[in-house]
Amino acid sequence: TEHDKKAKKRKHEYEEDEEDEVNFLLILINMWEEERYTDGSKWRFLEHKGPVFAPPYEPLPGNVKFYYDGKPMKLSALAEEVATFFAKMLDHEYTTKDIFRKNFFKDWRKEMTSEEKSKITDLNKCNFSEMNEYFKAQSEARKQMSKEEKQKIKEENERLLQEYGFCIMDNHKERIGNFRIEPPGLFRGRGDHPKMGMLKRRIRPEDIIINCSKDSKHPKPPPGTKWKEVRHDNKVTWLASWTENIQGSIKYIMLNPSSRIKGEKDWQKYETARRLKKCVDRIRNQYRDDWKSKEMRIRQRAVALYFIDKLALRAGNEKEEGETADTVGCCSLRVEHIKLYPKMDDQEYVVEFDFLGKDSIRYYNKIPVEKRVFKNLQLFLENKQPEDDLFDRLNTSILNKHLQELMDGLTAKVFRTYNASITLQQQLKELTCPDDSIPAKILSYNRANRAVAILCNHQRAPPKTFEKSMQNLQTKIDEKQNQLSAARKQLKAAKADHKASHDEKSKKAVEVKRKAVQRIEEQLMKLQVQATDREENKQIALGTSKLNYLDPRISVAWCKKYGIPIEKIYNKTQREKFAWAIDMAEKDYEF
Ligand SMILES: *[C@@H]1O[C@H](CO)[C@@H](O)[C@H](O)[C@H]1NC(C)=O
Ligand SMILES: *[C@@H]1O[C@H](CO)[C@@H](O)[C@H](O)[C@H]1NC(C)=O
Ligand SMILES: *[C@@H]1O[C@H](CO)[C@@H](O)[C@H](O)[C@H]1NC(C)=O
Ligand SMILES: *[C@@H]1O[C@H](CO)[C@@H](O)[C@H](O)[C@H]1NC(C)=O
Ligand SMILES: CC(=O)N[C@H]1CO[C@H](CO)[C@@H](O)[C@@H]1O
């Protein structure tokens, strides 16, 4: 019969499911085993369509004017395009900053005709407000778009994804991560970056180096253009690359993080951190011994290593000379970056750090250190000027070489990964109550994450929208509270009713009202947890440690253990990146 057929089919599907799971695991294992070519090459066959370029500039309508010194002025297309980048940012604090304005103006003038150049000599006389209004109106119009228009855009994006978003690497179709090239604009940078405001140039096909295999269908440049070069280098995994003009760094189009090769790299990174867990005691004993070394260079190396281990400092940054922000890492610390206090409040041997770390994020910390470290630091500081190197017998390459000797694959970053991951695991154990509701557990999870982010100094300025979104949330909480009192009153009335009449109908009414109260209480709690979470999150960027330093298997295992849906912890992008961990980690996984 029909019913039997269905039942059979379902049973079959069920069995297939189980089989699928086994198959899937086998595929996973294979993924890491197969095609690991012994000659260092990453692929034999690579075919793709190249990048998607930013849409061309559309000139402003004639009625949107730029004013110089109070008078309207028609700009050439190039100058106008660059002006629109500034106009779009007019409401942003950046455009009030001196460096930003200076850099922008310098680069803008380069795009002007000589006539424009001679006329436009003072940014303060430029009035972009009509342009700014125009873009605001446009973005408003985009928000008001009809369902059909939105659907059309979605379909176009989907078409681009299908055409450009995948490549064939050996026998697999793989998702490409960033196949769209960023549109031109003004560079912002993090912190007070000295290059902010500079023009991030439009990337053209002539800037692009394509990498694909010889025997594949080579990607075609847009009509009338040429690639800079087409390569066939199978020792690398990128598909296309170009050099951006601000920092001169090379950008790559690569596979999506969830793809095979990247997933494997990620996995290996955490496996390295787990290996450190096994030998960290030996390493710590050694650097403690080295604090007593007769050789200055060894003492310095050992103290630096202690900082890296204890404070999760970066080793140092090899950056280009000159223009870049004055940021330092452990090896490049200068005398002026630390202060020593033999006694401070009730603590002894306190070191105060104050310097700009990666991305110009300030690192400020006061911590007590061991006496021997303190004495060594005093020694290193002797007869030095504020701008001298603290570790004058050390540089990043020496330290990295030493780390390699201590453990294969060891870098300063491995210490961070190890400490961040193990801290997350400990915090999760400490903070999670098995009896908590799901929202309360997620709050605990976020708190554990925050503990790690603080440890890694992943701070940020409170987002601009913070106060507003907090207010909105508070309004919602107030409303919910009113709803709750109303519901409680109704419940009370229903109870009184039932007491008087004792009939079935009023009993049911009490039940209904009781349920309503419960439901609203739950909703209220959820909102309150959200508010706490957001408040505590104000100045901490959780994303960085979550994406880069925390073994995702710890989070996945935690979710599996407490029945929390993975979606509550990782958004879609993150789930793709950590697909390997979601498949691998069981609920009893230990880092
Ligand atoms: C800029 O131009 C607009 C008109 O387009 C005018 O309303 C505004 O006052 C001008 N701003 C300045 C600072 O001159
Ligand atoms: C991680 O770093 C913190 C902060 O420096 C330190 O107190 C802690 O001992 C470290 N934990 C481990 C397991 O290394
Ligand atoms: C680091 O120091 C070593 C030994 O003094 C030297 O050979 C090497 O060139 C230095 N490396 C850098 C990047 O400065
Ligand atoms: C997921 O979160 C990351 C930050 O970790 C963010 O950059 C990304 O846009 C988010 N993706 C989605 C699909 O929400
Ligand atoms: C510049 C560069 O990396 N070129 C390489 C491109 O790939 C071929 C192999 O197909 C190498 O021989 C080149 O050295």
How confident is the model at residue 574, as a pLDDT? 86
Query: pLDDT tier at 3 (50, 70, 90 boundaries)?
Result: low
Helix (H, G, I), strand (E, B) or coil at 575: helix
Write out the two tokens for 324. 């870049």
Query: pLDDT tier at 225 (50, 70, 90 boundaries)?
Result: very high
Most informative mutation of 60, 66, 67 for ligand 1 (most atoms within 8 A of CB): 67
How confident is the model at residue 274, as a pLDDT? 93
Q: Measured between alpha carbons, how far is 540 from 447 in angstroms, rounded to an integer?
A: 11
Which ligand ends up closest to the CA of 124?
A: 1
Rounded to the nearest angstrom, the distance between the alpha carbon of 71 and the centre of ligand 1 is: 10
Torsions phi, psi of 346, nearest 5? -105, 15
Lining ligand 2 with CB less than 6 A are 310-311, 419, 422-423, 455
Query: pLDDT tier at 311 (50, 70, 90 boundaries)?
Result: confident
Q: Which has more pLDDT, 24 or 434?
A: 434
* Rounded mean pLDDT, 183-193: 87
Helix (H, G, I), strand (E, B) or coil at 243: strand
Query: pLDDT tier at 9 (50, 70, 90 boundaries)?
Result: low
Q: Is 523 in the pocket of ligand 3 (CB under 6 A)?
A: no
Measured from the Cα of 70, ligand 1's closest atom is 14
* Rounded mean pLDDT, 144-159: 91
- pLDDT 10s digits, 83-108: 999 999 999 888 999 999 999 999 99
Which ligand ends up closest to the CA of 571?
A: 4
Among protein residues, the one whose CA lies closest to atom 6 of ligand 5: 233
Residues found in the chain: 591
Among protein residues, the one whose CA lies closest to atom 3 of ligand 2: 310
Q: Are 411 and 403 in contact (CB under 8 A)?
A: yes
Q: Is 530 in the pocket of ligand 3 (CB under 6 A)?
A: no
Measured from the Cα of 231, ligand 5's closest atom is 6
Amino acid 580 reads: W
Measured from the Cα of 395, ligand 3's closest atom is 1
- pLDDT 10s digits, 537-567: 776 666 666 778 899 999 999 999 999 999 9
Write out the two tokens for 468. 């507003």
SS3 content of the chain, % helix, strand, coil (to 5): 55, 10, 35
How confident is the model at residue 323, as a pLDDT? 40
User: Residue 418: exposed, middle, or buried by beta-carbon count in 10 A (0-12, 13-18, 19+)?
Assistant: buried
- C-alpha dist (Å) from residue 162 to 48, 133, 245: 11, 36, 30
Q: Measured between alpha carbons, how far is 566 from 586 in angstroms, rounded to an integer?
A: 13
Which ligand ends up closest to the CA of 453?
A: 2
Q: Which of 418, 549, 562, 570 is catalytic?
A: 549
Q: Are 110 and 79 in contact (CB under 8 A)?
A: no
Which ligand ends up closest to the CA of 591?
A: 2
Q: How does DSSP assign 485-503, residue by residue?
A: HHHHHHHHHHHHHHHHH--
Measured from the Cα of 213, ligand 5's closest atom is 10
Q: Measured between alpha carbons, how far is 205 from 11 in angstroms, rounded to an integer?
A: 54
pTM: predicted TM-score of the whole model, two decimal places = 0.56
Measured from the Cα of 318, ligand 3's closest atom is 13
How confident is the model at residue 458, as a pLDDT? 60
Sign for the CA dihedral angle at 487, 488, 491, 497 comes to negative
Q: Measured between alpha carbons, how far is 367 from 261 in angstroms, rounded to an integer?
A: 40
271: which residues sit within 8 A by CB, 6+ positions away? none
Radius of gyration for the alpha carbons in the chain, expressed in angstroms and rounded: 30
What is the percent of the chain with per-residue pLDDT over 70, rounded to a whole number? Answer: 88
Most informative mutation of 397, 399, 401 for ligand 3 (most atoms within 8 A of CB): 397
Q: What angle, rounded to 10 degrees, do the helices at 552-562 and 260-290 form?
A: 110
Among protein residues, the one whose CA lies closest to atom 4 of ligand 4: 543
Write out the two tokens for 93. 């604090």
* Rounded mean pLDDT, 212-221: 92
Write out the two tokens for 311. 């404070």
Among protein residues, the one whose CA lies closest to atom 2 of ligand 2: 310
549 noted as active-site residue:
yes
Among protein residues, the one whose CA lies closest to atom 8 of ligand 4: 573
Query: pLDDT tier at 175 (50, 70, 90 boundaries)?
Result: confident
Say whether pLDDT at 27 is over 80: no
Q: Among 225, 231, 176, which Cα is nearest to 209's? A: 231
Q: Is 127 in the pocket of ligand 1 (CB under 6 A)?
A: yes
How confident is the model at residue 573, as a pLDDT? 82
* Rounded mean pLDDT, 315-337: 74
Say whether pLDDT at 20 is over 70: no
Lining ligand 4 with CB less than 6 A are 543, 547, 571-574
Partner residues linked to 209 by β-bridges:
229, 241
Average pLDDT value for the chain: 86
User: Residue 42: exposed, middle, or buried by beta-carbon count in 10 A (0-12, 13-18, 19+)?
Assistant: middle
Say whether pLDDT at 283 is over 90: yes
Torsions phi, psi of 241, nearest 5? -150, 155
Q: Which has more pLDDT, 170 or 276?
A: 276
Q: Measured between alpha carbons, how far is 60 from 98 in angstroms, rounded to an integer?
A: 27
Most informative mutation of 546, 568, 570, 574 for ligand 4 (most atoms within 8 A of CB): 574
Helix (H, G, I), strand (E, B) or coil at 567: helix
Torsions phi, psi of 300, nearest 5? -65, -45
Q: Which has more pLDDT, 255 or 182?
A: 182
Sign for the CA dihedral angle at 429, 433, 438, 440 comes to negative
- pLDDT 10s digits, 410-461: 988 899 899 989 999 999 999 998 888 888 899 899 889 888 887 766 666 6
Query: pLDDT tier at 80 (50, 70, 90 boundaries)?
Result: very high
Among protein residues, the one whose CA lies closest to atom 9 of ligand 3: 397
How confident is the model at residue 547, as a pLDDT? 75
Say whether pLDDT at 78 is over 50: yes
Among protein residues, the one whose CA lies closest to atom 12 of ligand 2: 419
Q: Which has more pLDDT, 76 or 236?
A: 76
Write out the two tokens for 276. 């450190």
* Rounded mean pLDDT, 358-379: 88
Q: Among 282, 426, 297, 307, which Cα is nearest to 357's? A: 307
Which ligand ends up closest to the CA of 277?
A: 2
Whole-angstrom distance between the N-terminal and C-terminal Cα of the chain? 52
Q: Measured between alpha carbons, how far is 503 from 268 in angstroms, rounded to an integer?
A: 68
* Rounded mean pLDDT, 110-128: 95
Say whether pLDDT at 486 is over 60: yes
Q: Measured between alpha carbons, how far is 10 from 100 in angstroms, rounded to an integer?
A: 64
